[in-house]
Structure 1
Amino acid sequence: MSHYSDAEDSIDVADLGLRKRKLWDPETESITSEIKELLDEDVNSLVEEDCIGCPLPSTPEDENMLDSEMSDVLKAAVLAIAIFFLMRPTMEIELQEKIVFGAFFAGAIICLGMSFMFHTVNCHSQFIGKLFSKLDYCGIAMLIMGSFVPWVYYGFYCHFRPKVVYLSVVCALGITSIMVSLWDKFSESGWRPFRAAVFMTFGLSGIVPAIHYGIVEGWFNKVSQKSLGWLILMGLLYIMGAMLYALRVPERWFPGKFDIWLHSHQIFHVFVLGGAFVHYHGISEMAMYRVTIGQCEMPDIPIY
């Protein structure tokens, strides 16, 4: 008896929630029917199409599945920038500025950290896959919330009431998105477009404060053009990535060609990272402008 048979006798595969491989008999089954059966098992056994339930790497072929997440290495750059920024002396960057930027860094690190953990442990079991899938989506909501904080803070630097109102609305929308993300049905494959729509709507809610900011500061002055330009570029990157993820481009047009490299989930990660770096540059420009001009030249006048 081979060691494979010993393993089958000693472990109840069904109890572990793992798939049991079936030996192929060439005398009774064709290769075509076997491939079709394996594909059917994959569709029925996966909780979410993003590899939940896949086997842990034990062969060179299985290890190739980990190559699809090599973009996670780039996420370390966000952590490095955060550490560099927050560790600067107080004489260079004041504590207040560190707290404001810290909200953005915290959202980005939580989002990318949850994504890393999800893609690392989702092969463990269906329960673990579902749990970290929910946390992955919660991380996206945290990133959007953290991105709003410095932009609203510096955008309405001299207008306290609108700043508080918009930050409160952002927090409320973020908490709502997190609650929706924790819903069991939210991680199912059929709800993929709905997931993208939730986060796209949350992100597009920034249009309202952006229009308000343009009215307050003027649309065509130098700082408005810079800050709004970077904000628009960040929004385009996030939206484009979410659309590619929801529509499963390009693998829907070329089945089987992008299973390892350049599938929609990878592209989505790249767009999110690009949007985060663009946003960091944009809010840095706004912060430098506010620090340069010093205190507000006019009293706080609420603008509705």
Structure 2
Amino acid sequence: MRPVRGHLLIFDCDTSRLMRTAANIWSHLLGMLWFFVGLFYFYRHVLHYRPSVTASDAAAIALFYICVVICFLLSTCFHTFSDHSPDLHRFGNELDHLGIVLVMWGTGIANTYFGFYCNHSIRNAYFLALTTTALGCAVFTLRPKFRQPSYRTARFLMYVFLGSSLFAPCVHGLYLYGWELLNDRMSLDHFLGLAIINFSGAAIYAARVPERWFPKRFDLIGQSHNLMHVLVFAGAVVRLRGLLLTLDYWERQAVAGQTCMNSR
């Protein structure tokens, strides 16, 4: 019988961990750079070629860009320095989860801004509700127990709750305007696409799929955490496209002089 070479097993284990970590780092680092460059291109394009776009409209889009950039930056930093020390790991993990809360808040604010473009009282009420909910979730993420592996399901449920709160303005908007008009106002179909993609990513992460079904087959790359990162980026791109289409709609309304005409 051949002797067991323990040092090779340790090396294989370290290599596996490094590969998984590298995939997590690069998926969000590249995503951060993509949105960061996109933010500057967006502002340059709006300033030079789209004078009919208002400053507040551009700011709503920019807010989404910035929230995504910060979320991906915090995620990248956490996965890069998580093995430095236990204290840095805990601190980075807190920031990583705060980044998730931030991008969900930014998504809700952008949705509400365009969905209730002509009804400032309703819009401001939802701004307050979304901000309060996000702050509550942010405080919860700072609890020490929240970072423990046993709270994986609790984290999943918290994000589902925060994500569900983003649907309240959508349901209200559907009641006031119907599907077709609300879809023009805030690109509801793209928001639903984002929700489906992000829910799928969170469910995959919580269930540890596919590695729980195929042990050791995804030790290097392709396990649940990697897949979640890719899906989060994909969802952000889908929502960004929807917001840009929404901006086009309101710009056309402004050019035609029909902004908020006969609107509730």
What is the 5 A alignment of 1:270-289?
Answer: 270-289=230-249
Match of 1:5 in 2: none
**Equivalent pair of 2:209/2:223 in contact (CA under 8 Å):** yes
What is the 5 A alignment of 1:107-256?
Answer: 107-221=67-181, 223-224=183-184, 227-256=187-216
* Number of equivalenced pairs: 250
**Equivalent pair of 2:81/2:89 in contact (CA under 8 Å):** yes
Match of 1:297 in 2: 261
Q: 1:65 to 1:206 in 2, by over 3 A?
A: closer
Q: 1:213 to 1:247 in 2, by over 3 A?
A: same
1:68 aligns with 2:26: no
1:105 positional shift: 1.3
Amino acid at match of 1:141: V
Superposed CA offset, 1:202-257 (max 9, x none): 01112221111112222244845982211111110111101001111111112222
Aligned to 2:47, what secondary structure does the other structure show? coil
**Equivalent pair of 1:149/1:167 in contact (CA under 8 Å):** yes
1:104 positional shift: 0.7
Amino acid at match of 2:36: L
**Equivalent pair of 2:28/2:233 in contact (CA under 8 Å):** no
**Equivalent pair of 2:71/2:99 in contact (CA under 8 Å):** yes
**Equivalent pair of 2:111/2:186 in contact (CA under 8 Å):** no
Larger CA deviation: 272-281 vs 80-89 = 80-89
Find runs of 4+ consecutive structure 1 residues off by over 4 angstroms: 60-63
1:98 positional shift: 2.3
**Equivalent pair of 1:223/1:289 in contact (CA under 8 Å):** no
1:84 aligns with 2:41: yes
Match of 1:267 in 2: 227
Q: 1:261 to 1:151 in 2, by over 3 A?
A: same
CA RMSD of superposed structures (Å)? 2.6
**Equivalent pair of 2:61/2:110 in contact (CA under 8 Å):** yes
Q: 1:288 to 1:214 in 2, by over 3 A?
A: same
> Which runs of 5 or more residues in structure 1 are unaligned?
1-29, 39-53
Match of 1:103 in 2: 63
**Equivalent pair of 2:194/2:238 in contact (CA under 8 Å):** yes
Aligned to 1:88, what secondary structure does the other structure show? helix
Aligned to 2:28, what secondary structure does the other structure show? helix
Larger radius of gyration: 1
1:95 positional shift: 2.4
Counterpart CA distance in 1 for 2:20 and 2:174 is 47
Counterpart CA distance in 1 for 2:198 and 2:19 is 28
| Larger relative contact order, structure 1 or 2 (CA cutoff 8 Å, min sep 6) | 2
Counterpart CA distance in 2 for 1:251 and 1:289 is 44
Counterpart CA distance in 2 for 1:272 and 1:135 is 17
- TM-score, length basis structure 2: 0.86
Aligned to 2:218, what secondary structure does the other structure show? coil
Counterpart CA distance in 2 for 1:222 and 1:171 is 22
Superposed CA offset, 1:170-216 (max 9, x none): 10111111111111111100000110110111011122211111122
1:97 positional shift: 2.2
**Equivalent pair of 2:105/2:134 in contact (CA under 8 Å):** yes
- TM-score, length basis structure 1: 0.75
